[in-house]
Amino acid sequence: MLESCIDQGESLRRMAPQAAWSVIAMVTRGDSDTELPLLWQICAVLQSFNYRITVLDASSTETDDNPGLQNLLDHAHWLEDVPSDTSPWHIVPARLGLGRIASQYSRGHRMPLQPLGHLFRNCDLVVVYADAHMLAALLPGSQVRPLLAVAPGRASIIGAYKSFKKLLLQAQLVPLIASVVSNPFKNAENLAKTTGRALQQCAQIHLGCHTEFMTVRTFPQQHKHWNDAHPLALRLMANAIPIAHSLADAGRAPSPTPFGYRAGAY
Return averaged pLDDT per consecutive 10 residues of the chain, 266 residues in all: 48 54 97 94 93 96 93 70 57 96 74 89 94 96 97 96 98 97 87 96 96 89 70 96 72 38 31
Q: Which residues pair with 4 in a beta bridge?
A: none
How far is Cα of residue 79 from the mean position of the Cα atoms in its chain?
Answer: 25
Q: What is the pLDDT of residue 257?
A: 35
CA distances from 93 to 67, 128, 134 (A): 7, 11, 15
pTM: 0.83
Cβ atoms of 257 and 143 within 8 Å: the answer is yes
Closest alpha carbon to 235 in 251, 219, 213, 205: 213
Q: How far apart are CA 46 and CA 9, in angstroms?
A: 8
- For the chain, give every domain's residue range: 17-249
How far is Cα of residue 245 from the mean position of the Cα atoms in its chain?
Answer: 20
Cβ atoms of 145 and 261 within 8 Å: the answer is no
Q: How far apart are CA 116 and CA 139, in angstroms?
A: 13
For residue 65, the 8-state DSSP code is S
Q: Which residues pair with 116 in a beta bridge?
A: none
Q: What secondary structure does DSSP assign to 104-146, as a single string?
A: HHSTT-S-TTGGGGGGGTT-SEEEEEE-HHHHHHHSTT-S---
Q: What is the pLDDT of residue 246?
A: 65
- Residue 216: which H helix or E strand, with range? strand 213-217
- The fold of 17-249 is Rossmann fold (3.40.50)
Q: How far apart are CA 227 and CA 209, in angstroms?
A: 28
Closest alpha carbon to 31 in 131, 99, 174, 127: 131
Q: What is the pLDDT of residue 115?
A: 87
Q: What is the pLDDT of residue 16?
A: 45
Give me the amino acid identity at 60.
S
- Residue 93: which H helix or E strand, with range? strand 89-93
Q: How far apart are CA 203 and CA 174, in angstroms?
A: 10
